[in-house]
Structure 1
Amino acid sequence: MTKLSVNINKIATLRNSRGGNVPDLLKVAKDLQNFGAQGITIHPRPDERHIRYQDALDLIPIVHTEYNIEGNPVKKFMDLVLEIKPTQVTLVPDADDALTSNAGWNTIKNKDFLIDIISECKRNDIRTSIFVDPVISMVEGAKETGTDRIELYTEEFASQYALGNEKGIKSYVEAAIKANELNLGINAGHDLSLDNIKFFKENIPNLLEVSIGHALISESIYLGIENVVNMYLQKLK
């Protein structure tokens, strides 16, 4: 079964919009795990517009499944990661002002930089994953960095699938096959939803984990968060 890690950034966004502590981010993280989620993902950004760096620290005793921290490996972010030592760090090439993640790494151009970051994570027993587009050369470049896994950036798949173009998954299948050949673990995320997750899972060989936030929280407004978590788990079997 592919693991479901729930990104709770949107819960933090809602909390921050009014100040105070409603909704309670830590309680939501605890509840999500009780409902069956196999991981919690956060993506702190330098401006702390949703997840705050203190949140990342406060979640340490709460997350008893897998703790995945995403972000651009600038010094402040890496200091946080090395202090927490989460289960996994997912390296994302976000600009400081990015609204959301919008591209994978150029693993060839950034090879030496990624090697340095990943080596430091491995010295601290932190599993590493790097965000990549579904391009064979980028997957091959990822292997050269020493990363444990890649996370396929799935926005283009989701866009094509919504238009009825199931062939939009072709490059993702090819990238996954190459990753399997290279013994790279495969994660995926961005715009995956209840509408497209089953099709994606069924076509990506050895998909280990998906990280889902915006869609899952949005769907939960109508269907309830416990129901939605279990709907994802059924589709990921």
Structure 2
Amino acid sequence: MTKLSVNINKIATLRNSRGGDTPNVVQFAKDVQRFGAQGVTIHPRPDERHIKYQDAYDLKPEVYTEYNIEGNPIPKFMEMVLKIQPTQVTLVPDSIDTLTSNAGWDTIKNKDFLVDVISEFKKKGIRTSIFVDPDLNQIEGAKATGTDRIELYTEAFAHQYNLGNQKAILPYAECAKLANNLGLGVNAGHDLSLDNIQFFKQNIPDLLEVSIGHALISESLYLGIENVVNMYKNKLK
């Protein structure tokens, strides 16, 4: 079964919009795990516009499933991850002013940088994953960095699938197959939803984990968080 990691950034966004501590990010993380989520994902950004760096530390003792911290490996981010030692760190090349992640790494151009960063995390026993576009050359480049996994950036698939283009899955399936052959684990995330997750899962070989936040939280406004978590789990079987 593919693991479901719930990205809780949007809960932090809601909290920050009013100040104070409602909704409580740590309590929400505890609840989604209790409801059946197999992981919790956060993506702190330098301006702390949603998840704050302190949240990352506060969550550490409460995440008893898989703890995944995403972000651009700037020095402050690396220092935090090395101290917390989560289950997994997912490296994302987003700039400081990026609204949301919008591209994968150029693993060939940034090979030396990624090799150095990944080696630091692996010394601490932290599983590493690289956010990548569905491009076979980038998958091969990822292998050369020493990463444990890749995370396929799925926005293009989600957009095309919504337009009725099921063939949009093909480059993702090809990249997943190559990654598996190279000994890389395959994760996926960005704009996956209840509408497209089952089709994606059925067509991606050995999909280990999906990280879902915006859609899952939005769907929960209508259907309830516990119900939605279990709907995703059923579609990921």
TM-score range, shorter chain: over 0.9
Q: Secondary structure at the match of 1:98?
A: coil
2:228 corresponds to which residue?
228
Identity %: 76
**Structure 1 residue 56, shift from structure 2 partner:** 0.2
**Structure 1 residue 39, shift from structure 2 partner:** 0.2
Q: Give 1:14-53 correspondences, 5 Å limit.
A: 14-53=14-53
1:116 corresponds to which residue?
116
Q: Secondary structure at the match of 1:217?
A: helix
Q: Secondary structure at the match of 2:97?
A: coil
Cα distance in 2 between the residues matched to 1:124 and 1:113? 18
Instruction: Give the gaps of 5 or more residues in structure 1.
Output: none
Instruction: Give the gaps of 5 or more residues in structure 2.
Output: none
1:126 corresponds to which residue?
126
Q: Secondary structure at the match of 1:60?
A: helix
Cα distance in 2 between the residues matched to 1:61 and 1:83? 13
1:206 corresponds to which residue?
206
TM-score (norm 2): 1.00
Cα distance in 2 between the residues matched to 1:89 and 1:215? 22
Cα distance in 1 between the residues matched to 2:233 and 2:101? 24
Amino acid at match of 1:34: R
Q: Secondary structure at the match of 1:167?
A: helix
Cα distance in 2 between the residues matched to 1:168 and 1:106? 21
- Structure 1 position 69 matched with structure 2 position 66: no
Q: Deviations over 1:91-134 (max 9, x none)?
A: 00000000000000000000000000000011000000000000
Amino acid at match of 1:49: R
Cα distance in 2 between the residues matched to 1:25 and 1:124? 26
TM-score (norm 1): 1.00
Q: Secondary structure at the match of 1:147?
A: coil
Amino acid at match of 2:136: I
Q: Secondary structure at the match of 2:44?
A: coil
Cα distance in 2 between the residues matched to 1:180 and 1:82? 28
1:149 corresponds to which residue?
149
**Structure 1 residue 215, shift from structure 2 partner:** 0.1
Q: Secondary structure at the match of 2:102?
A: coil
Amino acid at match of 1:32: V
Q: Secondary structure at the match of 2:144?
A: helix
1:165 corresponds to which residue?
165
Cα root mean square deviation, aligned: 0.3
**Structure 1 residue 74, shift from structure 2 partner:** 0.2
1:216 corresponds to which residue?
216
Q: Deviations over 1:6-47 (max 9, x none)?
A: 000000000000000110111100000000000000000000
**Structure 1 residue 144, shift from structure 2 partner:** 0.1
Q: Secondary structure at the match of 2:151?
A: strand
Amino acid at match of 1:87: T
